[in-house]
Amino acid sequence: MNEESFLSTFRYYEPESVAEVVSALKDNVNSSVIGGGSDLLSEIKNGTTKPNVLLGLSRIDDLKRITATDTEVRIGSMVTINAVSSDPVIKRDYGALSEASAGLATPQIRNVGTLGGNLNQRPRCWYYRNPLIDCLKKGGTKCYALGGHTKYLCVTEGERCYIVHPSDTAVALSLFSAEIEIASAGDIRRIPIGSFFVSPSENILRETILGPDEFVTAVYLPSHAPESRHMSKYIKARERQSGDFALVSVGISLKVSSGTIQACNICFGGIAPTPYRSIQMEKYLVNRSVENLDVSYAAGLAISDPKPFPDNEYKVTLATNLVKKALSDLICDL
């Protein structure tokens, strides 16, 4: 067996507070937090990352709870994907998030995988995951995907690196004005999910704004009175029906009143390096009557200025068809 496929050695310990995690991240330069380990351990195994210290978060109870007040729902970063998908408030008020979580990976991974880990998982690009290849994302000098396998790469917003955003929950959370809570030395701050992810043009080495001694403690969703709740839907196309990432996924949330679309959010996964909000399609739909809506025309606006590779033009068609189906299904449910 290739020696690269063995886990490198690391120290593991479990801090008992958020402050202790932050100080351990600061004191140990090459350390990582770990949730369920379903992504990080395979990264360590194939040598993509080699932390000296792993910080388990499972002793911090506050990170493992979902709590709701009149104004917001807080999901701790150590809440499992399974718990997100089955929570009754999330099912009722944020249907697309429940659907995205329920259809993600496999039952085993949903039982151990956490929301924090899902949002911070690393890209799936084959070349990035290969221990023998140092591509631009690993500090090398070349993108090996260019001129290689391009079937799974992005079709828009790629620059020097052409990964797609892998997290299903991030796409769904982008529909609901979610905020990410981040702990760093002496500070806890909240930022909109749209500012959390960074594209390769901003930082080719990372996918989020997190600094080395920061980690995610929770995700917040605004609560709405029943009359102003949005209806929402998440659909994902993949090659295998279980345990597979999205070729393309789409989430839509709609608020319809007296037959007119009052508000609309649309976000895609699998087509860009970060969750892709279809602002042009949202603008077209708002203030339109659902009765005579030209769904095909609206769906044609899904991706502005797509730049597919020869092997992934199918993603543009897939995105158009998926969003058409999601929108039609939501309108039928009115």
Ligand X SMILES: Cc1cc2nc3c(=O)[nH]c(=O)nc-3n(C[C@H](O)[C@H](O)[C@H](O)COP(=O)(O)OP(=O)(O)OC[C@H]3O[C@@H](n4cnc5c(N)ncnc54)[C@H](O)[C@@H]3O)c2cc1C
* C-alpha distances in Å from residue 79, one per residue of 62, 147, 217: 10, 40, 10
* Cβ atoms of residues 254 and 231 within 8 Å: yes
Q: Which residue has the tokens 């290969």?
A: 130
Q: How far is the CB of 66 from ligand X (least distance, A)?
A: 15
DSSP state for residue 243 in the 8-state scheme: S
In the range 140-159, which residues lie near ligand SF4 by CB under 6 A? 143-145
Q: Which is nearer to ligand SF4, 94 or 127 (CB)?
A: 127
Residue 218: contacted member of ligand SF4, ligand X, none (CB under 5 to 8 Å, by partner type) = none
Q: Which is nearer to ligand SF4, 162 or 197 (CB)?
A: 162
| Size of the residue set binding ligand SF4 (CB under 6 A) | 13
CA distance 334 to 231: 9
Strand 231-237 to strand 187-192: parallel, antiparallel, or no bridges (unpaired)? unpaired
CA distance 238 to 247: 5
CA distance 167 to 171: 7
Q: How far is the CB of 130 from ligand X (least distance, A)?
A: 16
Quick one: which segment of 55-63, 139-147, 187-195, 315-323 binds ligand SF4 (CB under 6 A)?
139-147
Q: Which is nearer to ligand X, 33 or 303 (CB)?
A: 33
In the range 156-175, which residues lie near ligand SF4 by CB under 6 A? 161-163
Among 44, 100, 105, 135, binds ligand SF4 (CB under 6 A): 135
For 180-215, the DSSP string reads EEEEETTEEEEEEGGGTB--TTT-TT-SBS--TT-E
The 265-304 site mask, x for binding ligand SF4 (CB under 6 A), equals ----------------------------------------
Applying CB under 6 A, the residues found at the interface with ligand SF4 are 123, 125, 127-128, 135-137, 143-145, 161-163
